[in-house]
Amino acid sequence: MTDQPVDAGDQLAASTSEASLRRTEARSAEIEAQIAKDPSGFRVMTGDRPTGNLHLGHYFGSLANRVRIQDAGVETFILIADYQVITDRDGTGPIRERVLGMLADYLAIGLDPSRTTIYAHSAVPALNQLLLPFLSLVTDAELRRNPTVKAELEATGDRPMSGLLLTYPVHQAADILFCKANLVPVGKDQLPHLEQTRVVARRFDERYGRVDPARPIFPQADALLSKASTVLGLDGTKMSKTKGNVIEIGMDADTTAKLIKRAVTDSDRFITYDPANRPEVSNLVLLVSLCTGREPIEIAGEIGDGGGGGLKKLVTESVNEFFAPIRARRAELVADPGYLLDVLRRGNAHANEIGNATLDEVRAAMNMTY
């Protein structure tokens, strides 16, 4: 028998403190150096909810980083988290189109299904079955205190907490642990999930034991915080579909031009790069920088008194040029749903193999092999 688990509430709160964030950043830098030397010790897992098409905020904030990690030779698992769509809404919406659209986005930007496993939540029963033993390892109080759960609950307005939202950190632990991932590229908002995942892995080991006495069944996964800059929406606030301020990866050049024309700037005609005082203008300069690889200050200096009009013209050209090949490839993929389904089914099959092997070990550790 093992003791009652120590409550993870404090650990979770601590995981979002400044000092802890600095430690996670330092650890991320160390891991990057290790990947450059030898990528074979890592298995990366991350994912997205298919609630809409992916946009430039996703691309520069996380997707480009995933491609970089894949290309560095790290084995990568990417989850299309379809079950997670219903943590904060009442229906699944046009989920099938969204799943295939997201897959097309992934492939178009350079995720390669021969090296990266892309799969859907609902297609991997073993992953979901881990939820039962994992739920035995957490308390209602610590889930209610989880900062990510709290933030999502607040964002849903008057909607009551569903069982699925309350257990969000636990199913996300199952997402990560079903394939024994040891590295999870995420944004800061997801750090409490990582801490909860480590707690679940540790408690599983304490309570249910091991198959191989030399090592726990589940690893202690690290977060990998990317250094990527945050691209804001066209109004200078967080890029988000519900705010109507996004440029989608798959949008056409004309729509992109129209949206950028309506972007918010400010009353100072002279263009500078000054994110603290001129968030809207600086964000547009940053977009040019990310698409061209040139320095923001240099770009702003060149536009100078070309004003908002000059800036928007350059943003439009840079974004459309950078995304043209990605968009062309995406259009081809979307026109071939048979191919997309084939890729997804192969990804699902591989995820099932891995998940079944993990679940076998879990059953063995729990003496449930019949």
Please report, as ranges, the residues that interact with ligand TRP according to CB under 6 A.
45-49, 79, 81, 84, 172, 175-176, 184, 186
Closest approach of ligand TRP to the CB of residue 205, in Å: 20
Instruction: Give the span between the Cα atoms of 195 and 189, in whole angstroms.
Output: 12
In this structure, how many other beta carbons lie within 10 angstroms of the beta carbon of residue 340? Answer: 20
Element of type H or E holding 352:
helix 337-365
Instruction: Give the span between the Cα atoms of 53 and 102, in whole angstroms.
Output: 6
Q: Which is nearer to ligand TRP, 70 or 172 (CB)?
A: 172
Q: Which is nearer to ligand TRP, 186 or 281 (CB)?
A: 186
Q: Which is nearer to ligand TRP, 192 or 296 (CB)?
A: 192
Closest approach of ligand TRP to the CB of residue 173, in Å: 9
Q: In whole angstroms, how far apart are CA 185 and each of 131, 165, 176?
A: 22, 22, 11
Q: Which is nearer to ligand TRP, 46 or 129 (CB)?
A: 46
Q: Which is nearer to ligand TRP, 49 or 198 (CB)?
A: 49
Spatial CB neighbours of 158, under 8 Å, sequence gap ≥ 6 = none
The beta-strand segments (E) located in the chain are 43-48, 75-80, 116-120, 183-185, 222-224
Closest approach of ligand TRP to the CB of residue 133, in Å: 18
Q: Which is nearer to ligand TRP, 179 or 300 (CB)?
A: 179
Closest approach of ligand TRP to the CB of residue 204, in Å: 17
Closest approach of ligand TRP to the CB of residue 356, in Å: 19
Closest approach of ligand TRP to the CB of residue 364, in Å: 25
CA angle, residues 342, 347, 353, in degrees to nearest 5: 130
* DSSP states along 64-93: HHHHHHHHTT-EEEEEE-TGGGGGS-SS--
Exposed/middle/buried for 172, CB within 10 Å: 0-12, 13-18, 19+?
A: buried
Q: Which is nearer to ligand TRP, 134 or 322 (CB)?
A: 134
Closest approach of ligand TRP to the CB of residue 141, in Å: 22
Pull the structure tokens for residue 97: 């189109």
